[in-house]
């Protein structure tokens, strides 16, 4: 029997020894007083962790952050309802924020705070506010597609020249926001026809924008529809000079030029926490807006803060003529994508 004993001893020593390395602090400290602000962040710690530290330093508020996937956190918040421990939902896309608002889980933000952001980048009822912008772009492989051949409009993507060469991420929130924008700007029928032609043209589907960027970079497909900042993430990882992929914008007014936002909402469960509004206020401060411009390569939404120099200015991105609350009909887009067979 000493074999069994030996094996158990090995395991026990390993478990005890390694557990001792654990940070332990969050595990043992469950008291509500210790955390002054609980943030559910659908934005990666790598992207916004330092910003939250800046907030803590500036405000003296201690923030406890639960990082997760934006949509999954939204689903979690829906399940938690009024019992949620969270004060703030910091989300990667407007759709998730709108769902939280629609379910009555968000509270109105003070007008003087949200007014810092143009009306088309916040909720119609001031229940959430965009904190940074991300433009939809077409990404192309520079070895396979000369810059002048890159399509000027999404409608060109159904051309036989691009058969099997276009990557999209139909399950992705940003792609769906674009389809919603297209439904609003060119109509339901035209959008459906375009999607069907796109499928007939052997469009390639990917899990997310990053996978599209990798595939275009590798030449698996020549073009892809993505968000602008993934290119900069990729460049930070492997070096811009090692990439064979670039961003391009469509022509003026094209639905493919939509600008989406990441944003924040104060939850009903965080309404009586004074730090909640402080946090939202901070995200719209010059300091935070500059952080988004420099560190995450996104568009600052508060006037007077410039985006990074190698990006076309927000004012020059000529997207479809609509406001973000017109994009609320996610359900209709979801049904359409199911109908044509992309979901």
Partner 1 sequence: MRTRLTPLHLLAACAALVSVTPLLYLFVRTGSAGWADIWQILARPRTLELSVASLGLAAAVAGTCIALGVPLAWLLTRTAIPGGRLWLIVAALPLAVPSYVAAYTWLAAFPWLQGFAPAWAVLSLVSLPYVVLPVAAVLSQVDPAFDEVARTLGDGPLRSFRRTTAPLLWPAAAAGGLLSALYTLSDFGAVSLLRFDTFTRVIYTSYRAAFDRTSAAVLSLVLVLLALLFVVLERAMRSRHQQWRVGSGAARRAERVPLGPWRWPALLGVVGLFGLAVGFPMVVLVRLMVQSQRFEADPGSWLAATGNTVQAAGIGAVFAMLLALPIGVLAARHTDRVAKGVESAAFVSHALPGVVVGLSLVYLGLTVAPALYQTLAMLGFAYAVLFLSNAIGSIRSATAQVSRNVEEVARTLGDRPTRTWWRVTARLSAPGIIAGALLVLVTAMKELPATLMLRPTGFETLATEMWTFTTIGSFSQAAPYAFVLVLLAAIPAFALARLTGRRS
Using the minimum distance from each CB to partner 1, give the nearer residue, 21 or 147: 21
- Please identify which residue in 50, 58, 60, 78 interacts with partner 1, judged by CB under 8 A: 78
Of 2-61, which residues contact partner 1 (CB under 8 A)? 2-4, 6-8, 10-11, 14-15, 18-27, 30, 35, 38, 44-47
- Please identify which residue in 58, 119, 124, 238 interacts with partner 1, judged by CB under 8 A: 238
For the CB of residue 44, give the shortest distance to partner 1 in the complex, in Å.
Answer: 5
Q: Which residues contact 183 (CB under 8 A, 6 or more apart)?
A: 191, 329, 332, 333, 336
Angle between the N-to-C axes of helices 94-102 and 330-340, in degrees from 0 to 180, rounded to the nearest 10: 120
**Which of 68, 154, 98, 41 is CA-nearest to residue 330?**
98
- Please identify which residue in 59, 75, 108, 115 interacts with partner 1, judged by CB under 8 A: 75
Q: Which residues contact 224 (CB under 8 A, 6 or more apart)?
A: 138, 139, 140, 166, 167, 168, 206, 212, 213, 215, 216
Give the contact letters, 154-183, x = binds to partner 1 (CB under 8 A), - = no: -----------------xxx--x-------
For the CB of residue 111, give the shortest distance to partner 1 in the complex, in Å.
Answer: 27
For the CB of residue 147, give the shortest distance to partner 1 in the complex, in Å.
Answer: 22
- Please identify which residue in 51, 61, 71, 166 interacts with partner 1, judged by CB under 8 A: 71
What does the alpha-carbon distance between residue 290 and residue 89 come to, in Å, rounded to a whole number?
Answer: 21
For the CB of residue 291, give the shortest distance to partner 1 in the complex, in Å.
Answer: 15
What does the alpha-carbon distance between residue 252 and residue 97 come to, in Å, rounded to a whole number?
Answer: 28
Using the minimum distance from each CB to partner 1, give the nearer residue, 7 or 58: 7
Asked if residue 72 binds partner 1 (CB under 8 A), the reply is: yes
- Please identify which residue in 54, 56, 59, 68 interacts with partner 1, judged by CB under 8 A: 68
- The full length of the chain comes to 343
Radius of gyration, alpha carbons of the chain: 22
- Please identify which residue in 205, 268, 278, 326 interacts with partner 1, judged by CB under 8 A: 205
Angle between the N-to-C axes of helices 274-283 and 45-59, in degrees from 0 to 180, rounded to the nearest 10: 120
| Assigned token pair, 326 | 């017109």
């Amino acid at each position: 029997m000493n074999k069994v004993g030996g094996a158990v001893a090995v395991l026990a020593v390993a478990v005890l020894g390694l557990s001792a390395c654990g940070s332990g602090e969050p595990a043992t400290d469950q008291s509500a007083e210790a955390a002054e602000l609980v943030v559910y962040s659908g934005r990666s710690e790598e992207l916004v962790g330092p910003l939250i530290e800046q907030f803590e330093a500036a405000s003296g508020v201690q923030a406890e952050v639960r990082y997760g996937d934006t949509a999954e956190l939204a689903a979690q918040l829906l399940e938690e309802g009024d019992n949620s421990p969270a004060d703030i939902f910091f989300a990667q896309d407007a759709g998730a924020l709108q769902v939280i608002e629609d379910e009555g889980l968000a509270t109105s933000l003070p007008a003087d705070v949200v007014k810092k952001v143009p009306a088309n980048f916040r909720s119609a009822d001031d229940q959430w506010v965009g904190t940074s912008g991300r433009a939809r772009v077409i990404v192309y492989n520079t070895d396979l597609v000369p810059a002048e051949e890159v399509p000027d409009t999404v409608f060109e993507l159904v051309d036989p020249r691009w058969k099997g060469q276009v990557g999209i991420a139909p399950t992705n929130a940003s792609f769906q926001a674009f389809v919603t924008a297209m439904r609003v700007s060119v109509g339901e029928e035209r959008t459906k026809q375009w999607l069907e032609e796109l499928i007939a043209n052997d469009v390639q589907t990917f899990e997310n924008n990053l996978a599209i960027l990798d595939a275009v970079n590798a030449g698996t497909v020549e073009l892809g529809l993505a968000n602008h900042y993934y290119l900069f993430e990729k460049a930070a990882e492997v070096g811009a000079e090692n990439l064979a992929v670039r961003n391009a914008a469509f022509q003026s007014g094209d639905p493919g030029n939509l600008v989406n936002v990441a944003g924040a909402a104060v939850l009903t469960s965080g309404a009586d926490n004074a730090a909640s509004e402080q946090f939202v206020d901070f995200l719209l401060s010059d300091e935070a807006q500059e952080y988004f411009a420099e560190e995450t390569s996104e568009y600052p939404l508060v006037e007077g803060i410039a985006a990074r120099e190698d990006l076309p200015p927000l004012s020059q991105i000529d997207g479809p003529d609509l406001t973000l609350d017109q994009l609320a009909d996610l359900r209709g887009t979801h049904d359409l994508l199911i109908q044509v067979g992309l979901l």
